[in-house]
Structure formats: structure tokens, C-alpha cells
Amino acid sequence: MLQTVGMLDVADRRVDTFSKGMRQRTKVASALVRDPQVLVLDEPLNGADPVQRLHLIALFKALGEEGRTVIVSSHVLHEIERLAERIVVLIHGRLAAAGGRRAIRDAMDDRPRHVLVRANDVRRLAAALVELPAVAGVTFDATRDGLVIETVQARELASALPRLARDSTVRLLEVRALDDSLESLFRELVR
């Protein structure tokens, strides 16, 4: 198991001489020794350097692909986003949401979404967008060189936007949700 977590080369050293990240990997190795079907890990990436984090994330995913259940508790949401397929969000000890990130966001359909759209003619596109019932607002974002569309009808917008662009002879360059990250979902849930 030490080899699995990249610690075999220091197996003869005392654990109290290890860095925090090395101690974390040692704890993961000790949890794996008994070949468990369920692993419960509290902040397992805490103290790990970027390379160690990538290795541990790959290990946890591989364990899940083997059919094991890997439960990771963490407040580092961007890492959880890369690591987990299913997410359980607890706020003040209460269940706030559970499921895949997209499923959680889709269940929050009463909350506005913000979509970045970059196109070859943003002015023409903006003029056409304001006519759509699915669009609550359109603003130009100079830093992203595109439009930010606010909607509470994301499915309708996704369906109408390509037709609208075609009919307006506007070429879409990028369409990207701005608030689908786990961190933005968490902020919405807390609110």
C-alpha cells in the first residue's frame, strides 16, 4: 500500500519526520491495508502538494472504478468537483443537496443562471436575445469579450440560442455556463 500512495521510498523513516502531505498519504495507505469496500476519508488531500493531490485523486477514482465506495469529506470544492461523481452538500449539519453537480444545478431551476456567449457580432446577437422570453437580462462583459445572459429558463435558452444566432447570421464562438461550478452552487444553496 505504501507503493500505491508513493511512499515506498521512505518506508524506513519514522512517521513523525514526515511532512503533513506525507502523513496524509501514509494514513490513506493504512486505510487500504485491509482492502476495504468502503473508505471514509476526511480531508485526505490536506497538506499534499499539487503532484500528490493529482496522484491521490487518480487513486480515489480508480478505487471507485473497482466498485468500492469512497466517501471524501472536504471543504475544498474545486477538488471535490474533479474527484466526485455524486456530491452531498451539508450546510449547518443539514442536507442541502445530493446528486451529480449538473443534477443539483438543474434542480435549482428557480435560481438565475448566467451564460457567457462569445460571437462574431455581439451587438446583433444582444438585440435579438432581449426578445427571447427565456432571457431575463443581457450585459456585455468586456473582460471576457462576450455577453452574459441571465436566465431562469436554461433549457429554453439552450434550445433557442443556436436558432437565434443562425437567423441573425451571427456565428457563435463560445457558449459556457458561468455558474455551474460546485463553488457557485454552494453559494446559491447557502443563500
Per-residue pLDDT of the chain (191 residues; tens, 9 = 90+): 999 999 999 999 999 999 999 999 999 999 999 999 999 999 999 888 899 999 999 999 999 999 999 999 888 877 887 888 888 888 888 888 888 877 776 766 667 788 999 999 999 999 999 989 989 999 998 888 899 999 888 888 889 999 999 999 999 999 988 876 677 777 777 76
Ordered by start, the domain boundaries in the chain are 8-85, 107-190
- CATH code of the domain made up of 8-85: 3.40.50.300
Q: SS3 for the chain, per residue?
A: CCCCCCCHHHCCCCHHHCCHHHHHHHHHHHHHCCCCCEEEEECCCCCCCHHHHHHHHHHHHHHHHCCCEEEEECCCHHHHHHHCCCEEEEECCEEEEEECHHHHHHHCCCCCEEEEEEECCHHHHHHHHCCCCCCCEEEEECCCCEEEEEECCHHHHHHHHHHHHHHCCCCEEEEEECCCCHHHHHHHHHC
CATH 3.30.70.100 applies to domain 107-190: yes
pTM attached to this predicted model: 0.64
